[in-house]
Amino acid sequence: MTIKRLIFLSLVSGLFLFSTAAFAHHGASVYNSAKLTTLKGTVTDFQFMNPHTEILFDVTGADGKVEKWTGEAPSLTTMSRAGWNKNIMKSGDAVTFIGNLAKNGSRIMRIRKVIFPNGKETVMDRGEDYAE
């Protein structure tokens, strides 16, 4: 009887461990999708990766204080299909980001559009969720 319980507990534990990844994706519900915000910032780090590409950037306010922001973009696969690569931006680039801010007030943005220093614009998505 003890072996059956041990096997059952092992199976339940295994299922729990492997199923948590399925619930990790949050979609866009944490962002205010009703309002687009424009931020001009300086890139501090560009992480071309899965599950979401991340752009870390500094925004200098009217008072001169620098705020650290994180921009979340679609996955590496989606971005690659749109012509992006790991060298498309680098630290020090002055970039304009347009997107949806986090509802909880944290300095996180779901990036919808990027305007590069040379004026080139890239639309990240057409309003769809980032899930592939």
DSSP assignment of 63-119, as one string? TS-EEEEEEEE--HHHHHHTT--TTS--TT-EEEEEEEEBTT--SEEEEEEEE-TTS
Instruction: Tell whether 32 is covered by a domain.
Output: no
How many domains does the chain contain in total?
1
Residue 28: pLDDT above 90? no
Instruction: Tell whether 118 is covered by a domain.
Output: yes
Domain of residue 111: give its range.
37-123
Instruction: Tell whether 68 is covered by a domain.
Output: yes
d(CA 87, CA 119): 17
The distance from CA 107 to its chain's CA centroid, rounded to whole angstroms, is: 12
User: Who wins on pLDDT, 28 or 36?
Assistant: 36
Instruction: Tell whether 27 is covered by a domain.
Output: no
Instruction: Tell whether 102 is covered by a domain.
Output: yes
Instruction: Tell whether 117 is covered by a domain.
Output: yes
What integer pLDDT is reported at residue 29 of this predicted model? 79
* pLDDT tens-digit series, residues 72-129: 998 888 888 888 899 999 999 999 999 999 999 999 999 999 999 999 988 876 444 4
What integer pLDDT is reported at residue 27 of this predicted model? 65
Omega before 74 within 30 of 0, i.e. cis: no
Instruction: Tell whether 66 is covered by a domain.
Output: yes
Say which CATH number the domain at 98 has: 2.40.50.140
Q: What is the mean pLDDT of residues 24-49?
A: 86
Instruction: Tell whether 2 is covered by a domain.
Output: no
To the question of pTM greater than 0.75 for the whole model, the response is no
Q: Percentage of the chain with pLDDT > 70?
A: 77
The residues with which 96 forms a beta bridge, in sequence order, are 40, 115
